[in-house]
């Protein structure tokens, strides 16, 4: 298992966000589905060690996040919900900055940047300022960036928010491709149409998992959207 979480609880003051969550992920595409406010962003903040929860155990690629945070973070790639690109820098400059944060520079960094941009069909835009890119290309830049240090585990927090249908489909396909190549992907979303029947599905509702299995099996003949609405009573899907 490349990502394992056990007994993860977290509260903001008196408001409980996560109640004893446990799960494991193998190399594949796993979707974390939940209505707004279900605890997805809290889970991501804990997985990326923006803050920590006492008593929980999180292991990334075999490294305990609490005991050995730097090794664990080195194996992790994150695409945050909020854009984190510097708009005044070019695509390439943004990637170079990130590479340096992971100790990469020179020819090695350059080579990885070319490979990642090619993979996301962004090579020809390398020298454009991010400010000039549309939302879809900005997201693709962020996904290319997160591949630079070859993480084993990839976390994406609602990466398609605000994108048009074509960009959403392209990005969903790109990331499915990464999972097929052996990466462990956790894709948080509140949109059921981004999940295919063969994906591993986790449904988070009110700080707890209410489903964990193959998406097709979980929906059990119904459309995933209907199932999701029925179990969460939410109309955001």
Residues that bind another protein (CB under 8 A): 12, 17, 41-42, 45, 48-52, 54, 69-74, 76, 78, 80, 82-84, 86, 88-89, 93, 96-105
Closer CB to another protein, 146 or 219, in the complex: 146
Q: At its nearest, how many Å lie between another protein and the CB of residue 77?
A: 9
| Dihedral in degrees, nearest 10, Cα atoms 203, 221, 234, 8 | -10
Closer CB to another protein, 105 or 214, in the complex: 105
Give the total residue count for the chain: 237
Q: At its nearest, how many Å lie between another protein and the CB of residue 235?
A: 23
> Please, which residues bridge with residue 16 across strands?
11
Cβ atoms of 170 and 194 within 8 Å: the answer is: no
Q: At its nearest, how many Å lie between another protein and the CB of residue 15?
A: 11
Residue 202 CA to residue 227 CA, distance in Å, equals 13
Closer CB to another protein, 156 or 195, in the complex: 156
**What are the E-state strand segments in 15-93?**
15-25, 29-33, 57-60, 63-64, 76-79
Q: At its nearest, how many Å lie between another protein and the CB of residue 217?
A: 32
Closer CB to another protein, 8 or 224, in the complex: 8
Q: At its nearest, how many Å lie between another protein and the CB of residue 2?
A: 16
Cβ atoms of 81 and 161 within 8 Å: the answer is: yes
Around 107, how many Cα atoms within 13 Å sit in the side-chain half-sphere?
Answer: 0
**What are the E-state strand segments in 26-67?**
29-33, 57-60, 63-64
Closer CB to another protein, 76 or 201, in the complex: 76
């Amino acid at each position: 298992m490349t990502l394992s979480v056990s007994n993860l609880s977290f509260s903001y003051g008196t408001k409980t966000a996560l109640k004893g969550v446990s799960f494991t992920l193998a190399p594949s595409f796993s979707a974390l589905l939940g209505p707004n406010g279900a605890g997805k962003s809290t889970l991501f903040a804990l997985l990326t060690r923006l803050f920590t929860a006492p008593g929980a155990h999180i292991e990334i690629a075999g490294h305990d996040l609490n005991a050995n945070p730097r090794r664990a973070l080195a194996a992790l790639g994150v695409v945050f919900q909020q854009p984190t690109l510097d708009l005044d820098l070019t695509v390439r400059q943004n990637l170079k900055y990130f590479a340096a944060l992971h100790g990469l520079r020179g020819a090695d960094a350059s080579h990885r940047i070319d490979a990642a941009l090619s993979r996301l069909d962004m090579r020809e835009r390398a020298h454009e300022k991010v400010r000039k890119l549309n939302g879809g290309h900005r997201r693709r830049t962020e996904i290319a960036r997160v591949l630079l240090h070859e993480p084993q585990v990839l976390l994406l927090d609602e990466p398609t928010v605000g994108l048009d249908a074509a960009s959403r489909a392209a990005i969903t396909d790109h990331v499915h491709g990464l999972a097929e190549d052996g990466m462990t992907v956790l894709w948080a979303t509140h949109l059921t149409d981004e999940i295919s029947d063969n994906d591993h599905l986790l449904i988070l509702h009110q700080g707890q998992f209410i489903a964990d299995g193959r998406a097709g099996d979980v929906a059990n003949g119904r459309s995933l959207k209907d199932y999701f609405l029925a179990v969460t009573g939410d109309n955001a899907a």
